Amino acid sequence: MPSAIRISVIIPCFNSADVIEDTLRSVFAQRFAAEEVLVYNDASSDETMTVLAACQTRWPGLKVFSDDLNRGAGYARRYLLKQATGSHVAFLDADDIWLPEKLEIQAQLIQRENVDLVVSAYRIVDRAGSFLGARKPKSNFGYRDMLMTNWIPMSTVLASRSLKGIAEMPLMRRRQDYAYWLMIFRRNPNLKLAVHPDPLMIYRRASGSLSSNMLENLRSNYQVFRQEEQFSAIASIMLLGLNMMFRVFRR
């Protein structure tokens, strides 16, 4: 077993009363136990805090932080990253689920291949649990590939805390995950990556207007290129066009 690896799990949470217990159950059911599980309740207005309190009784190792002001997932992740004490961090969104072997397989990959970052394929289901499909990243990719599209769903990651910028999650309300990974690849040009081809995570797709979400994501991607990566307006528009093309062909 990869005993030298100590994992801090990072979970931002907002109005997730109906899903957060299942998500946490998937964490505490891991075959390779995390050293700590950190949840940030981002001023939820539903019963999320009540559910989290019950979860703390069931799983005493669970650490919950809360705020009365909603600040967004970027702030929540940054806050938890600064509290983390493990050698590695694993991100999990409050409505996603890990398969029981997720951390074990990724920790073994990190030790065996001496890499800084592991990502995996994932399954997609609707809120009722019906299977919608599966996706997997390229077998290898770098900064330029990431400019075309975000190959890294947050909930598939196990990353070393030694990476430059690992605790500097952008505070954007949308697409802060994309900005984060672009920054990580840019600041760590020799980053060593491993991709596990089989699904280790289940992504629960929320209902809503796909076209509206796509438009908002494209607007946010432009902000990522223009403000976070500091490309010119023309270059940012060109990259946005490539993002759109890739999204169409990837469906």
If you write DSSP's letter for every residue of the chain in order, what string do you get?
A: --TT--EEEEEEESS-TTTHHHHHHHHHT-SS--SEEEEEEES-SSSHHHHHHHHHHH-TTEEEEEESS---HHHHHHHHHHH--SSEEEE--TT-EE-TTHHHHHHHHHHHHT-SEEEEEEEEE-TT--EEEEE---SS--HHHHHHS----GGG-EEETTSTTTT-----SSSHHHHHHHHHHHH-TT--EEEEEEEEEEEEPPPS-HHHHHHHHHHHHHHIIIIIS---HHHHHHHHHHHHHHHHHH-
According to the model, what pLDDT value does residue 46 have? Answer: 94
Quote the pLDDT of residue 32. Answer: 96
| Contact predicate 27/75, CB 8 Å | no
According to the model, what pLDDT value does residue 91 have?
Answer: 98
Walk along the chain (251 residues) and give the pLDDT tens digit of each residue.
Answer: 445 899 999 999 999 999 999 999 999 999 999 999 999 999 999 999 999 999 999 998 899 999 889 999 999 999 999 999 999 999 999 999 999 999 999 999 999 999 999 999 999 998 777 888 888 888 889 999 999 889 999 999 999 999 999 999 998 888 899 999 999 999 999 999 999 999 999 998 875 534 447 778 788 888 988 889 898 999 989 988 888 887 666 65
Residue 212 has what pLDDT?
Answer: 46
- Amino acid 82: pLDDT: 96
Quote the pTM value: 0.90
pLDDT of residue 210: 42
At 251 the pLDDT is 53
